[in-house]
Amino acid sequence: MFELLPSLKGVLVSRSFDPTLWPVPIHSSGTDLFIGETDLRAESLRHTTGFFVDAAGEPRCPSTDECDAAHPVLVTRIIAAHVTGGRAVVRVDAALPLTTAISDVAFVGVGLAGATLADITVIDTAGHRRTVHAELPAGVIATGTLVIALRPVADRASVVAR
Question: What residues does each domain of the chain span?
Answer: 14-152
How much is the pLDDT for 5? 43
Q: Residue 42 has what pLDDT?
A: 87
Tens of pLDDT, residues 125-151: 999 999 999 989 888 888 889 999 998
pLDDT less than 70: residues of the chain: 1-16, 63-70, 155-162
Query: Which residues make Cβ contacts (< 8 Å) with residue 80, sequence separation at least 6?
Result: 90, 91, 142
Per-residue pLDDT tens for 86-95?
899 999 999 8
CATH architecture of 14-152: Beta Barrel (2.40)
